[in-house]
A and B are shown apart, each in its own frame.
Chain A
Amino acid sequence: MKGLFSMVVMVSLFAAPVLSEETATKMIPAGSRVFIAPMEDGFHEYLKAAFQAKQVPLTIVDDNKTAEFEISGHSETQKASTAKKVFLWDWRSNEQASIRVTNVKTSEVVFAYAVNKVSSAHGKKSTAEACAKHVKEKIESRR
């Protein structure tokens, strides 16, 4: 019984740092320096504004050499066609975007998120704010 107990203690002692290291590499600590890479149609600008609006606890830097994390991604806008305006009486655009957050040091993707909004109420602004909201949730989850 004693032997089993000591084995469990030994395993937990060795495994704990490994597990914590694994979760640490996937974490985005609050206050991290983040560089937002240029994206199609200037989506990175909307993303910066959304980070501000949603009060995401990150420091956005303009130089990727000083950054700890890099956000890159893709954005696509499908403006309402004449058919949509005439038949569906809808002027709003369809928006989709996808981002990934990469740890610059390890080159590992620590977070990724995709959003698709049909007839987006505020166009790119809505998708950017959705991305910002989920980045904030990731930071606050500390996982």
Chain B
Amino acid sequence: MKTTKAVAKLVLLLFLFVIAHSVRAQVPAGVPQQNVAPPTPIITNESLPRGARLYVAPIQNGFETYIIAGIEKKKVPVVVVTDRDKADYELTGVSETDKAGWAKMLFFGSQQTNETASIKVVNLTTSNVVFAYSVNKMNSVRGKQSAGEAVAKHINEKIENRYH
């Protein structure tokens, strides 16, 4: 009986030793744990001020010009610049267009496109993302123009602090 208990203790100790060794092996040697930087916030609550100088980076299929046109139409209070060095903020994003297929034309009589776009606005001084937004328009009435105006509308809401 005593022998069984001793063997059980030995097995337990051996098991703990193996676990401890494997954990130590996973930590790279020579890298002190204190050097691991605390996670920085990716999206901040920082506001987007009126009159900010915004650079709109090129996006696929020239979507950046539709965003700029949307900013103009929705009277968003920012100054759009074409030189990144003169900007306070940068807008980048992606855009995709899905054209109407023959089935959509035959069964729904619709030739409108589906539009998807996603953007983010980065503060160039702090590199913080101050705003991000994505839009998906099924049967977009005015194609990229509609998506561009939706983006502009939400940037305006962000500036006016009406964004949820």
A residues sitting closer than 8 Å to B (CB atoms) are 40, 72-76, 78, 81-84, 87-88, 94, 96, 98-100, 102, 106-109, 111-116, 118
Contacts and interface: CB of A to CB of B under 8 A. Distances in A.
B86, B101, B142 — most chain A CB neighbours (10 Å): B142
Contacts of A87: 102, 105-106, 109
A112 B101 contact: no
6 contacts: A76-B61, A76-B62, A88-B109, A108-B80, A112-B68, A112-B80
Interface residues of B, number: 31
A125 B11 CA distance: 85
B130 to A, nearest CB: 20
B111 to A, nearest CB: 6
Q: Is the interface of B mostly helix, strand, loop or mixed?
A: helix
Contacts of A75: 62
Interface of B: 61-63, 65-66, 68-73, 79-83, 86, 99, 101-102, 105-106, 109, 111-112, 142-146, 148
A88 B72 contact: no
A76 B143 CA distance: 11
Contacts of A76: 61-62, 144
Given A81-B105, A87-B102, A96-B143, 17 more contacts: A74-B66, A76-B61, A76-B62, A83-B106, A84-B111, A87-B105, A88-B105, A98-B69, A98-B145, A98-B148, A100-B80, A108-B79, A109-B80, A112-B65, A112-B69, A112-B71, A116-B146
B21 to A, nearest CB: 61
A116 B71 contact: no
